Amino acid sequence: MSTLVELFIAFVKIGFTSFGGMSMVPLILEEMRAHQWMSTEDLTNVIAIAEMTPGPLGINCATFAGERTAGVIGGIVAVAGVLMPAFTLTLLTAVCFERFKNSTIFTRILLVLKPICIVLILMTILELLGENYVAGSRLDLPACGIGILMIYLIEKKKWQVPKVIGLSAVLGVLCYGIF
């Protein structure tokens, strides 16, 4: 099977089994590893780039992961794959919403899906914490310091995300150099 077909199928699965944003990241990571297209470190870099660019995280991750795997066409195929389920489900939902909006089954389904999404996000956070804040078998103190400072600036000083990303980049270059 060609890489483009595998990429499309992988991102269709991701689109059908996640609910956008950070909930896509563990699924993207799993597919990238299963096909040996990207390492955890590569995906961490993709997430960082996707967070800095405008647009939804899942779409940006699909774009960058697809491009890293199979060039520009791979990026297009990955985005088409990840959007296909959302497009299909949105169309079906629009057709059926009026009929089911007061359904107790629909409400109960949403009650189950919300905690599942939270668990997926927490699992991703834990995995990325290990990848980004541990060097070898020790804590990477500069990275931890930068992370704590950024949380402080966002939560207490109410800095906007672009400013935090910019400062993080500057501090990263100062602590680790350009290459």
Hunting for tokens 């980004």 — which residue is that? 132
Lowest-pLDDT range of 4-8, 81-85, 103-107, 162-166:
103-107
What are 148's two structure tokens?
């704590």
Give the pLDDT band (50/70/90) at residue 4: very high
pLDDT score of 68: 87
**Residue 115: Cβ-neighbour burial (10 angstroms; 0-12, 13-18, 19+):** exposed
- The residue extents of the domains of the chain are 3-135, 140-179
pLDDT reported for residue 167: 95
- Band of pLDDT at residue 29, cut at 50, 70 and 90: confident
Q: Can you tell me the distance from the alpha carbon of 142 to that of 173, in angstroms, rounded to the nearest whole number?
A: 11
Residue 16: pLDDT above 80?
yes
Q: Confidence band (pLDDT; 50, 70, 90) for 164?
A: very high
Q: For the segment 48-65, what is each residue's pLDDT rounded down to a tens digit?
A: 888 778 878 778 888 888
Q: What pLDDT shows up at residue 90?
A: 83
| pLDDT given at position 37 | 87
Report which of 95, 105, 74 is spatially closest to residue 10, judged by C-alpha positions.
Answer: 74
Q: How far apart are CA 179 and CA 161, in angstroms?
A: 24
Please report the pLDDT score of residue 179 as a whole number. Answer: 65
Return the pLDDT at 139: 93
In this structure, what token pair is assigned to residue 82?
A: 């990840």
Dump pLDDT digits (tens) for 95-151.
876 777 788 887 888 789 889 989 988 998 888 888 888 888 899 999 999 999 999
Judge whether 45 and 53 are in contact, CB under 8 Å: no
Strand residues in 76-173 grouped as ranges (E): 134-135, 138-139
For residues 37 and 12, the answer to whether their CB atoms sit within 8 Å is no
Cα–Cα dist 22/10, whole Å: 17
